[in-house]
Amino acid sequence: MIETLAPQAPEGFVDHWTSRIRNLPKSQRVMLAILAGLTGMAIARELANANDLTSSGTVAATLRLSAPLICAGLAALWAERVGIVNIGIEGMMILGTWFGAFGAWKYGPWIGLLLGILGGMVGGLVHALATVRFNVDHVISGVAINILAAGATRFLSDQVFTPAGGSVSQSPPQQSAIQSIDLPFITGGRLFGWRSPDLTGWFERRHWFLISDIASVIRGVGREVSFATLIVLALVPLSAWILWRTRFGLRLRSSGEAPFAASSLGVNIPRLRYQGMAVSGALAGLGGAFLSVVASNGYREGQTGGQGFIGLATTIFGNWRPTGVLSGAILFGFATALRLRDVKNVPALFLVMAIALAVVGLLALRKRHIVVGVVAIVCAILAAVGFATINEIPQSLTFITPHVITLIVLATATQRLRPPAFAGRPYREGESH
């Protein structure tokens, strides 16, 4: 008996290209995503007539402002992967700013970064002692560290900085800065003392669609980039490799996913949590030291400005992955960079948001995520109306723009967020689950 098969419907155009893109290697998919993002930015730049939207100055400022957020996000990632919610990142960054400024003032910027890392590590170990040894609630311990760090640094400033010409809220300036790097021929860097041609700068000044935008990005990330910034960027692939490609990373993640099962196999969960929190505190301390040593020339009270809490948001946005943390930090840094360079750029962000949210909404609707899709489309329409009707935003309101953008992206993210299963839950060694 011969069975007749019903003819299959031809594959749609979108389905065909979606399938082809999914079958590409991950590196090629990342490059396509970056190219798509740059295309959207180029369209927004042309429509809004805002050349500063993708200028090399904006890109460089974005990179500089994203670095401490990357450190804060990675600090939250390491803590939650080991099973501890680190609300105290802000306090650890405050310790990093003070000890980093002290080290840079006394011994030079590199020693300042090292002392900032050690200062944050102390805060991480205190948080681990409270949560692992004494089973203190993670949130309460983190809030206590934030309060204690602010008070401790003010006391230390009064004892150390005030007699030397500073004050309780400000350190004496450091005498030198960390060196930066330029790329010869690409961004006009020097070659044996000779200033080479600036190829990407020439393309940027032409303001050609997409070509000038790509050149601006290359020039922004390759011109006068601090070595400290390169170290921070290198921490993203390094964290990914350690956590997902090493035995230590596997055991550390098991502490945040199933500590009782890991303990039954001989894994020392308390020791792992101390180690994970030491790394988390060190990363937060590096972020704080970056603010006082690289982004400025000394310690200022309130220098962190809540960036530790924003780092927690980038971890959630990034689905507890290092590359996701990087994306979230760049998003927030970009919005802040536009505001700091010129408040007239802020209305152009409405158009960028409209394009991005429209794409997010259409993709969500296609995957039958109705609620997320509808919310994203509505937000895209509101952003488009805002761009069409608002010519200038009061400077007092521009300060909340990056935070609003972060909240909208978090609310409309289509990815399936999955935190570590045991993060924040009490664990007592020897007890059964």
Residue 321: partners with Cβ closer than 8 Å, 6 or more residues away: 77, 240
In-domain check, residue 214: no
Last residue of a domain, one of 322, 341, 360: 341
Please tell me the predicted confidence (pLDDT) of residue 4: 47
Characterize 152-191 residue by residue with b for buried, 16 or more Cβ atoms within 10 angstroms of its Cβ, and e for exposed. bbeebbeebbeeeebeebbbbebeeebeeebbbebbbbee
Separation between Cα atoms, residue 163 and residue 349, nearest integer Å: 46
In-domain check, residue 48: no
Please tell me the predicted confidence (pLDDT) of residue 415: 54
Separation between Cα atoms, residue 410 and residue 193, nearest integer Å: 47
In-domain check, residue 283: yes
Q: Are 330 and 146 in contact (CB under 8 A)?
A: no
303 and 155 within one domain: yes
Separation between Cα atoms, residue 272 and residue 85, nearest integer Å: 15
169 and 122 within one domain: yes
Give the DSSP per-residue string, 141-183: HHHHHHHHHHHHHHHHHHHHTGGGT-BTTBPPPPS----EE--
Last residue of a domain, one of 312, 341, 370: 341
Report the number of distinct structural domains present in the chain: 2
235 and 90 within one domain: yes
DSSP 135: -
CA torsion angle 51 53 55 59 (round to 10): 180
User: In a structure prediction context, what are the per-residue pLDDT tens digits for the chain, which is 433 residues long?
Assistant: 444 444 444 446 566 666 777 777 877 877 888 888 888 888 888 888 888 888 898 999 999 999 999 999 999 999 999 999 999 999 999 999 999 999 999 999 999 999 999 999 999 999 999 999 999 999 999 999 999 999 999 999 999 999 998 899 999 999 888 998 888 888 887 777 778 888 999 999 888 998 999 999 999 998 889 999 999 999 999 999 999 999 999 999 999 999 999 998 899 999 999 999 999 999 999 999 999 999 999 999 999 988 999 999 899 888 899 999 998 899 888 888 877 776 667 777 788 888 888 887 888 788 787 877 888 888 889 888 888 887 776 666 667 766 776 676 666 554 567 889 898 888 877 665 5
In-domain check, residue 248: yes
Separation between Cα atoms, residue 363 and residue 376, nearest integer Å: 10
383 and 287 within one domain: no
296 and 278 within one domain: yes
In-domain check, residue 13: no
Please tell me the predicted confidence (pLDDT) of residue 397: 63
Separation between Cα atoms, residue 258 and residue 82, nearest integer Å: 10
137 and 60 within one domain: yes
Separation between Cα atoms, residue 123 and residue 77, nearest integer Å: 16
247 and 162 within one domain: yes
403 and 282 within one domain: no
In-domain check, residue 171: yes
CATH number of the domain enclosing 333: 1.10.3470
How far is Cα of residue 160 from the mean position of the Cα atoms in its chain? 32
In-domain check, residue 211: no
234 and 118 within one domain: yes
Separation between Cα atoms, residue 28 and residue 21, nearest integer Å: 9
324 and 371 within one domain: no
Q: Are 293 and 228 in contact (CB under 8 A)?
A: yes
Domain that holds residue 169: 56-182+224-341
In-domain check, residue 21: no
Separation between Cα atoms, residue 351 and residue 191, nearest integer Å: 41
349 and 333 within one domain: no
Last residue of a domain, one of 316, 341, 366: 341
Look at the pTM and tell me if it is higher than 0.85.
yes
178 and 300 within one domain: yes
